[in-house]
Amino acid sequence: MQINKLLLFIALLFCGTFGVFANQQLKLKSPNASLLVDIALTKAISYSVSFNNKTVLLPSSISLSLDKAILGKEAVVKSTKIRSNSGFNELTINFTNSFAVVFRAYNEGVAYRFITTFDGNVRVLAEQADFNLTGEPAAVIQQTDNYTTWEGSYVRFEQKNLIADGVRATTPALFDYSQQPLKVVIAESDLRDYPGMYIQKKEGQFSGQWAAYPVKSEMGSWGNFVSVVKERATFLSETSGKRSYPWRIVIITDQDKDLLTNHLVTKLAEPSLIRDTKWIKPGKASWEWWHDAILTGGEIPSGMGNRNTALYNYYVDFAAEHQMEYLMIDAGWSNNYDLRKVNPKLDVQTVISRAASKKVGVFLWCVASTLLKDLDGQLDFIQSLGAAGIKVDFIDRDDQLAIRWFEQIAKAAAKRKLMVNFHGCSKPTGLEKTYPNIVNYEAVRGAECSKWDYSVGPEHHLLIPFIRMLAGPMDYTPGSMRNASKDKFKPIDPGLPSSQGTRCHELAMFVVFNQPLAMLCDSPDEYMKYPDILQFLSVVPTVFEEMKVLDAKIGDYILMAKRNQGRWYIGAMSNWERRTLELDFSFLPAGKTYQLKLYLDAADADEHASNYTFKQISVNSESKIVLPLAKGGGAAAYLDL
């Protein structure tokens, strides 16, 4: 109540000047008062942000240029409105020219958005979203010179002034004031019918940048089935005059580990538009593509040329026997340009029916452009086969038209009770909250790159949870059982690939990574060589009810515990440095003894990364154990009463 009164006082203090565009200053605090937003209304709108009395964002201008008006330039304030709850404080500034700007302050960050009330449609000619960071923080960003990929590597700059003017990066983007310490992440949320935001270095600060509206495109790129933009308009979007625009977000914390529990992007997204969600079920999936459908046991013919009914039945049986909810059938089950033309080697409906009898659902891969040519017809066909969901690949854009596609596909799929796993896609911005049948997004440099290059090693694995994962779930596809040290790893394609880092590092991903649909990348018979590991993969869930980040440092290590239905799971990961971490079980209820099933790097895992040890230990809330992590190492565990 005290904070609410303070906010109300601040708003009322300036009521006497409303009706003209005078110099005005408004303030908004987070519920815990650690974050302060100063909003300046002069001939333009700007805001600055401080955290624990330290300036983080210097005055940063915002505006929206429409064909009807420039919103934020010499606008006149009509009124303000204060709203607050336990999660945030909100200030809405209503202007006379049919628009408002809403600011929110959470304990974990600040956000703002434009709201317009114009009749008819409008064109957005440009948007100004400046992020004028103070000082010279280090930056960890994914650079891009196009508007088609979110699967690049992260690059660290020791100071932001080392980033050349004109460099463009995807969001989320991380800035690290290591001496203070302070972490700042720029992101966005509730992106609907509007292009996605990048940031670009301009004269010492960063500003939002967006792909212009596509006016001409043609099929090209992979297999000539990707819609490639050849010409863009001079505006960003054409949209309804009555709407809310995406949230622009600045996440701020002085603790690395807080980034792993920051869900501000999801919090700001629109709530679910699907009433009945009982049919939406997360889970793990067996999958053939990463290991080229090769079974080393020799029980049945395998390999990419033998992807037939018998082979997929084998994957179904493996999933059913080991409590895995799904089978993912990747590219090749049908014609890339017409899903109704099914591979004659595969009776896909029989496989799906047989899987259903074993309580295993089946996802089917498809190309986005093929789906969109006849969205209702193609989805009706997939539904008639009995599929549980679709893996939609090769959107590879986030201009306004592409962002519409995401929602069109999710909405049409939901009508048919089909889940969606987006691949070849832009990063999530909360649409999976609005349409919870979206169970995953790729938008990450994932395990597939182990087939082609050296880019997805432990250093990468220790960056993406602190940056990419703030946007939402990611489909990294972990689970490699052929593990290699840094000096022994070599990309393999075609054939049986390996991964960088230890076996336990790979297992820990199933706890650390946010992946409601978790595809196991390796072959069933490879897992069956290790019954103790298969037991872990069988029981570890893909969604959790509670999370405790016990220790973490960006780019170096993570130690966390997650709970689902009374059982705790532990995941620890290290970069290429050997280290020890202390696992403190004080998060457990007092007075109970648990059996810890623990997977640790073997003593020689630095050299032989597949080697591990399995232990069972009794622990309680007073227990502490040391986890020795090899180079590129990890640990995984689960607790039973």
SS3 content of the chain, % helix, strand, coil (to 5): 20, 40, 40
Residue 298 is predicted with a pLDDT of: 76
Q: Are 26 and 80 in contact (CB under 8 A)?
A: yes
Using alpha carbons only, how large is the chain's radius of gyration in Å? 25
pLDDT at 534 over 90: yes
Domain finish residue from 254, 274, 302 = 254
Question: Is 386 inside any structural domain?
Answer: no
Q: Are 10 and 26 in contact (CB under 8 A)?
A: yes
Question: Is 130 inside any structural domain?
Answer: yes
pLDDT at 160 over 90: yes
Question: Is 78 inside any structural domain?
Answer: yes
Residues 6 or more apart whose CB falls under 8 angstroms from that of 194 comprise 124, 236, 237, 239, 245, 246, 400, 403
Residue 222 is predicted with a pLDDT of: 82
Question: Is 318 inside any structural domain?
Answer: no
Q: Are 350 and 315 in contact (CB under 8 A)?
A: no
The CATH number of whichever domain residue 455 belongs to comes to 3.20.20.70
pLDDT at 3 over 50: no
pLDDT at 2 over 50: no
Nearest alpha-carbon partner for 375 in 411, 331, 334: 411
pLDDT at 11 over 60: no
Q: What is the per-residue pLDDT across 229-243, written as a single tens digit (0 to 9) for each?
A: 999 999 999 999 999
The CATH number of whichever domain residue 203 belongs to comes to 2.70.98.10
> Other C-beta atoms within 10 Å of 294: how many?
17
- The percent of residues in the chain predicted with pLDDT above 70, rounded, is 97
**pTM exceeds 0.75 for this model:** yes
Question: Is 198 inside any structural domain?
Answer: yes
Question: Is 84 inside any structural domain?
Answer: yes
Residue 9 is predicted with a pLDDT of: 36
pLDDT at 15 over 50: no
Report how far residue 506's alpha carbon sits from residue 510's, in angstroms, rounded to the nearest whole number.
8
> Other C-beta atoms within 10 Å of 180: how many?
14
Average of per-residue pLDDT across 481-494: 98
Question: Is 411 inside any structural domain?
Answer: no
Nearest alpha-carbon partner for 371 in 352, 391, 388: 391
- The catalytic site residues sit at 393, 448
Residue 150 is predicted with a pLDDT of: 94
Which of 297 and 211 is assigned the larger pLDDT? Answer: 211
pLDDT at 17 over 60: no
Report how far residue 39's alpha carbon sits from residue 371's, in angstroms, rounded to the nearest whole number.
45
Which of 298 and 355 is assigned the larger pLDDT? Answer: 355
Query: Which structural domain, as residue segments, surrounds residue 173?
Result: 2-219+243-254
DSSP bridge partners of 539? none
Average pLDDT, the chain: 95
Q: What is the per-residue pLDDT across 92-117, written as a single tens digit (0 to 9) for each?
A: 999 999 999 999 999 999 999 999 99
Q: Give the angle subtended at the CA of 347 by the CAs of 342 and 353, to the nearest 5°.
A: 120
Average of per-residue pLDDT across 394-403: 97
Residue 14 is predicted with a pLDDT of: 43
- The percent of residues in the chain predicted with pLDDT above 90, rounded, is 93
pLDDT at 5 over 70: no
DSSP of 286-344, one letter per residue?
EESTTTTT--TT-SS--SGGG-SHHHHHHHHHHHHHTT--EEEE-TTSEETTEEEEE-T
pLDDT at 8 over 50: no
Q: What is the per-residue pLDDT across 365-378, written as a single tens digit (0 to 9) for each?
A: 999 999 999 999 99
Report how far residue 96's alpha carbon sits from residue 40's, in angstroms, rounded to the nearest whole number.
17
Task: For residue 641, give the 3-state DSSP assignment.
Answer: coil
Residue 314 is predicted with a pLDDT of: 97
Residue 22 is predicted with a pLDDT of: 52
Tally of domains in the chain? 2
